[in-house]
Amino acid sequence: MADTEAREEVTAEELADLWPVLSPEDRVEGFHLLPRAEAEDLFLTRSARDQADLLRAVPHEEQRSWARLLAPDDAADLVQAAEPEERERLLGLLDEQTRRDVRALLAYAEDDAGGLMSPRYARLRPDMTMDEAIIYLRRQAQERLETIYYVYVLDDAQRLLGVVSFRELFAAQPGRRVRDIMRTDPVTVRDDQDQEAVSRVFRDTDFMALPVVDAEGHLKGIVTVDDIVDVVEEEATEDIQKIGGMEALGAPYLEVGFTAMVKKRAGWLAALFLGEMLTATAMARYEGEIARAVVLALFVPLIISSGGNSGSQATTLVIRAMALGEVRLRDWWRVMRREIGAGLALGAVLGTIGFLRIVLWQAVRPTYGEHYLLVAATVFCSLIGVVTFGTLAGSLLPFVLRSLKLDPASASAPFVATLVDVTGLVIYFTTATLILSGTLL
């Protein structure tokens, strides 16, 4: 942004497109060049972390006007994204009602429905007529409601009685009352319900918004589908990063500092490296067998990589099924039976390929000696055993972690591969001892 003319011509759309690759300084510079209306649109579409950075960068006398653009749930996200020592100052920029709403939202865990909800929702009394309800909703609309697709019917104690859509209100006869057209069995989520569980409710119902209630049925706010889209993206990103064998970054890749990036990756890498040391220990244990039958060493990478790959497949499938609610803890036995069968079948496929490769290669270029058929049988049987163990370990490890109240995504593919590497060597050389005893061994 060094060129003055280019800076004067920047638009909100262009700045939004370039945002991921711009430095924090260039982002602020471009933001200041936008007309106020365009800058407001850009500000409202940024993440809470970006909003906090932009708010910090504008002149102090302007910060109040920018902060008050945000709905209470978005303002709560901004406060949480800021440094702890800044939070009280940011709360002081809000109007009194919004500040009370934000403080109430901050009392919930960030990952619970209560932490996602907006307290600004359309409400009605059950005894209102259609005309009274529409007039009352018109007044509420001036309060910047989160959504008006659904209107919630409350009693005097603010308990949720039912829900009615905006379309149903306008289609009803003027003399009818709200209680006559409301649905009395609305789908709700609890304020302490985890955000992943809330996302599954949205998936199953296809609603645009869901009411959030406490244990006594009092309506506390609503969660809208746009909030859940962000949650799903965040959760999927964290799971993918953990499956890759590292801590979740918690921020966009280019915004994570170099030192933080190294710390989040080094821990798991060190743990996996220590685990792989057991592979060397296992190799040393079978040093005698390798010395007597050097041909066995040729197939070590083939054997252990096949087991690791099958285990990685299984753990990825099970973790994703858990995240989608397709598999629960009580399903472990069904999963185990299914994966034993899959492991045997997959092992047989790979074993057959390995067997044919040895036989055909021996016919073209004798390499494996006179007992090549026994070597081929060893590889065949070992692959069945290693692949079956890999699929079984990869599928059951997420259940073990879930039962220990840990994140199943921590059963990362590299961790499973490391585990199977060691056991794969044991299976391979044990099988070789049984088949090749009296010949090569």
Alpha carbon distance 301, 110 (integer Å): 45
Residue bearing the bigger pLDDT, 353 or 291:
353
Same-domain status, 298 and 404: yes
The reported pLDDT for the residue numbered 189 is: 93
Place 5 in a pLDDT band, splitting at 50, 70 and 90: very low
How close are the terminal C-alpha atoms of the chain, in Å?
Answer: 72
Question: How many CB atoms lie under 10 A from the CB of residue 419?
Answer: 21
Alpha carbon distance 346, 357 (integer Å): 17
Assigned token pair, 25 = 């300084």
Q: What mean pLDDT is predicted for residues 223-227? A: 84
370: pLDDT strictly greater than 50: yes
Same-domain status, 23 and 134: no
Q: What mean pLDDT is predicted for residues 105-121? A: 85
Question: How many CB atoms lie under 10 A from the CB of residue 149?
Answer: 16
With beta carbons less than 8 A apart as the criterion, state whether 410 and 247 touch: no
CATH number, position 80: 1.25.60.10
Q: What mean pLDDT is predicted for residues 59-87? A: 87
Characterize the bridge pairing of strands 160-165 and 150-154. antiparallel
With beta carbons less than 8 A apart as the criterion, state whether 144 and 172 touch: no
Element (H, E) at 60: helix 60-67
Assigned token pair, 298 = 């040729």
Same-domain status, 327 and 216: no
Residues 6+ apart with CB under 8 A from 201: 187, 189, 210
323: pLDDT strictly greater than 90: no
| Residue 117 belongs to some domain of the structure | no
State the DSSP code for 151: E
| Residue 247 belongs to some domain of the structure | no
Question: How many CB atoms lie under 10 A from the CB of residue 147?
Answer: 17
Full residue range of the structural domain in which residue 161 is found = 123-241
Q: What is the pLDDT of residues 244-260, one digit of tens each?
A: 667 777 667 666 777 87
Place 340 in a pLDDT band, splitting at 50, 70 and 90: very high
The total domain count for the chain is 3
Same-domain status, 370 and 417: yes
Which range has the top average pLDDT, 73-82, 247-256, 264-273? 73-82
Assigned token pair, 29 = 């510079």
Same-domain status, 24 and 147: no
Same-domain status, 370 and 280: yes
Give the chain's mean pLDDT.
84
The reported pLDDT for the residue numbered 8 is: 52
| Residue 333 belongs to some domain of the structure | yes
| Residue 294 belongs to some domain of the structure | yes
End-of-domain residue from the set 108, 141, 162: 108
Q: What mean pLDDT is predicted for residues 163-181? A: 87
User: SS3 helix, strand, coil % of the chain, rounded to 5?
Assistant: 70, 10, 25
Alpha carbon distance 111, 71 (integer Å): 18
Residues 6+ apart with CB under 8 A from 52: 78, 81, 82, 86, 90
Characterize the bridge pairing of strands 219-224 and 123-124. unpaired
| Residue 20 belongs to some domain of the structure | yes
Amino acid letter at 179?
R
Alpha carbon distance 188, 314 (integer Å): 34
Same-domain status, 265 and 215: no
Q: Tell me the Cα Rg of the chain.
A: 30
Q: What is the pLDDT of residues 372-422, one digit of tens each?
A: 899 999 999 999 999 999 999 999 988 988 888 877 776 566 778 778 888
Same-domain status, 304 and 176: no
| Residue 114 belongs to some domain of the structure | no
The reported pLDDT for the residue numbered 264 is: 78
Residue bearing the bigger pLDDT, 413 or 130:
130
Phi, psi (deg, nearest 5) at residue 158 = 65, 25
Same-domain status, 227 and 369: no
| DSSP letter string, 274-302 | HHHHHHHHHHHHTHHHHHH-GGGGGGHHH
Q: What mean pLDDT is predicted for residues 3-9? A: 48
End-of-domain residue from the set 219, 241, 263: 241
The reported pLDDT for the residue numbered 19 is: 86
Q: What mean pLDDT is predicted for residues 228-234? A: 76
Looking at the chain, the whole-number percentage of residues with pLDDT higher than 70 is 94
Residues 6+ apart with CB under 8 A from 125: 153, 154, 178
With beta carbons less than 8 A apart as the criterion, state whether 115 and 76 touch: yes
Same-domain status, 47 and 167: no
427: pLDDT strictly greater than 50: yes
Same-domain status, 135 and 211: yes
Place 124 in a pLDDT band, splitting at 50, 70 and 90: very high
Assigned token pair, 46 = 């940024």
The reported pLDDT for the residue numbered 9 is: 63
Q: What mean pLDDT is predicted for residues 81-103? A: 87
The reported pLDDT for the residue numbered 144 is: 67
Q: What mean pLDDT is predicted for residues 65-90? A: 87
End-of-domain residue from the set 108, 139, 155: 108
Helix intervals (H) in 365-412: 372-403
Place 220 in a pLDDT band, splitting at 50, 70 and 90: very high
| Residue 36 belongs to some domain of the structure | yes
Same-domain status, 42 and 92: yes
The reported pLDDT for the residue numbered 86 is: 86
Q: Which of 397, 254, 239 is closest to 312 using CA atoms?
A: 397
| Residue 115 belongs to some domain of the structure | no
With beta carbons less than 8 A apart as the criterion, state whether 215 and 138 touch: no
- Cα angle 260, 263, 269 (rounded to 5 degrees) comes to 145
The CA–CA distances, whole Å, from 213 to 179, 187, 205 equal 20, 10, 17
The reported pLDDT for the residue numbered 188 is: 93
